[in-house]
Amino acid sequence: MIPSKQPRSARRAVALLMVFSAGLISVADGQDRREGPPHAALINDLAASHPASAYIDASTLLVAEIDWEKLDVDAFFASVQKLTGDRPSDVAIVKDLIGKLKAGKAGRIYVLAGQQTLTDRAPLIVIPTPDAATLFTAMKGMFGDNVRIAPSGSALLFGTPDQLKRVESLNPVSRNDLLSPLQDANRLDHSVVIALPDASRDLLTKLWPAKEPDRFPVKVSPSRAAADIHRLVITVQTPPQPMVRLLLDTVNAEAADRVAETLAAIKQQFDPMLANVTLNRAPKRVIVEIDRKTIELAETIASEMRRSAARAKRVATMKQLGIAFYNYHDREKHLPPRCFVAADGKPLHSWLVAVLPDMDNLAFYRSIRLDLPWNADENARMRNTLPAGFGSPQLPVGHTVIRAPVFPGSLWHGDGPPKRLDDITDPAANTILLIEAPDDASIHWADPTPWVISEDDPIQDVFGDRDDARVLLADGSVLLLKRAEMDNQKLKAMLTIAAGD
């Protein structure tokens, strides 16, 4: 598997800031803030006074407001990692971006999306500032060729060339349906407002089905929901004390009744997971608030789902390796060597490189300079590539815990020629070929450094602080060893291939 080209890190920073506009954060430690009506003072003149109003027209469907001054980057990334399992890699970049916003006296960030956003493949970003020249100088050149920056009055615009060209001829339209929630004194730090024009909602009402999909756990009519809800407001407070509030504004009180009934049914269906989600009613509004316990449960479920998926993937990878070993043996008349070596005996590549052709990576294998070390400049592609199924989010990039145990009498012991299947005289169903090692024993998959198992206490090396360890056996099966059922003598017998035990 060859990795796709990564986007530029600075562009990723902007994308990460935009995550807030979609409400994709973990929520916990909810505060007792209640939604209230927007301030009336500015309702009638929002189209003229709001910093984003000059860039909103009839096709605008979404406006997001991000208060970057209230963003704790470290806490936010830590929360994202809990939910997604992805290791944060852009903390420093986002902090640098926020530093530039501060130096340029930037106001809140506004993200605008409309009917052409899918074609543009990016929203328009508006950053108000009294010093557009300073902010422009700091930001210029950060985001590559696909994102342009242009001063516009008392703001800086970020968008594609086509977006910025359209702005020049834009005819702003008064859209208090999008902007009035951004004047609500009770809104949280970041908000997303989605409001479809009547014509768009009418179209969705006709296109969307009248009934829920088959096997959907709750009775709900998508077309009825499109007709009933005219605006959705998502308002968010980011970590370290995050919370989320959803405001569903309906066309009338009867519609609010239907929406509240549907949400109550969903809450009941997924009880106890949603037991602490609160639903409140206003005459033409349904308010949904989520508390800390709900998000902690969501984090636990997400974490367990990731662990389960990772376990299944590793089992599949180890089974594929078992097949690859036998295919390799059929072709080469011996099992894979512990490592490739140079003429002077210097180790060059791990055993895993040898079986790449048998793991559906023949083209990649042919691109490797086998006569040079795995970390040579000429093998940079290999250094930056991880075959599918070998990594894990908690490991360093390129690392794997699927290791070949070097133990006296094991398949991988000694510097002689590679072993053959005939050399395995102990029962194949009790003979270990590979082990899923502890995380602290992980290594870059192409690194030939051996994993030496202690003769005195192999259990500690194999299990670490874990209660179990997955192994590939010589018959091609995968077995989960339980630490409580093992002792050093049993483990030694399984590590050797011809000890008569």
For residues 48-85, one letter each, b for 16 or more C-beta atoms within 10 angstroms of the residue's C-beta and e for the rest, the string is eebbbbbbbbeebbbbbbbbbeebebeebbebbbbbbb
**Per-residue pLDDT averaged across 309-330, rounded?**
91
pLDDT over threshold 90, residue 351: yes
CB neighbours (10 Å) of residue 407? 23
Predicted pLDDT of residue 18: 43
pLDDT over threshold 80, residue 85: no
Predicted pLDDT of residue 67: 95
Higher pLDDT residue, 145 or 69?
A: 69
pLDDT over threshold 70, residue 293: yes
pLDDT by residue (tens digit) across 441-456?
999 999 999 999 999 9
Q: Of 208-212, 280-284, 338-342, where does mean pLDDT reach its minimum?
A: 208-212
Task: Indicate left, alpha or beta for 36 from its phi (over 0: left) and psi (-120 to 50: alpha).
Answer: beta
Predicted pLDDT of residue 256: 95
Predicted pLDDT of residue 79: 77
**Per-residue pLDDT averaged across 326-350, rounded?**
94
pLDDT over threshold 50, residue 265: yes
pLDDT by residue (tens digit) across 127-170?
999 988 888 888 876 666 678 888 888 899 999 998 999 998 88
Predicted pLDDT of residue 242: 78
Predicted pLDDT of residue 297: 78
Q: Of 235-249, 405-419, 446-460, where does mean pLDDT reach its minimum?
A: 235-249
Percent of the chain residues topping a pLDDT of 70: 88
pLDDT over threshold 70, residue 8: no
pTM, 2 dp = 0.63
Q: Of 11-15, 30-34, 78-82, 387-391, where does mean pLDDT reach its minimum?
A: 30-34
Task: Provide DSSP, 312-372.
Answer: HHHHHHHHHHHHHHHHHHHHHSSPPPSEEE-TTS-EEEEHHHHTGGGGT-HHHHHTS-TTS
Predicted pLDDT of residue 46: 53
Angle between helices 91-103 and 132-139 in degrees, nearest 10:
150
**Per-residue pLDDT averaged across 184-202, rounded?**
91
Percent of the chain residues topping a pLDDT of 90: 53
What is the radius of gyration, based on Cα positions, of the chain? 29
By C-alpha distance, which of 437, 431, 430, 374 is closest to 403?
Answer: 437
Dist CA 129 CA 189 (whole Å): 19
CB 252 within 8 A of CB 198: no
pLDDT over threshold 80, residue 10: no
CB-hemisphere CA count at 13 Å for 333? 1
By C-alpha distance, which of 312, 319, 255 is closest to 281?
Answer: 255
Average pLDDT taken over every residue of the chain: 85
Predicted pLDDT of residue 33: 34
Q: How confident is the model at residue 45 (pLDDT cuts 50, 70, 90)?
A: low
pLDDT over threshold 70, residue 423: yes
pLDDT over threshold 60, residue 26: no
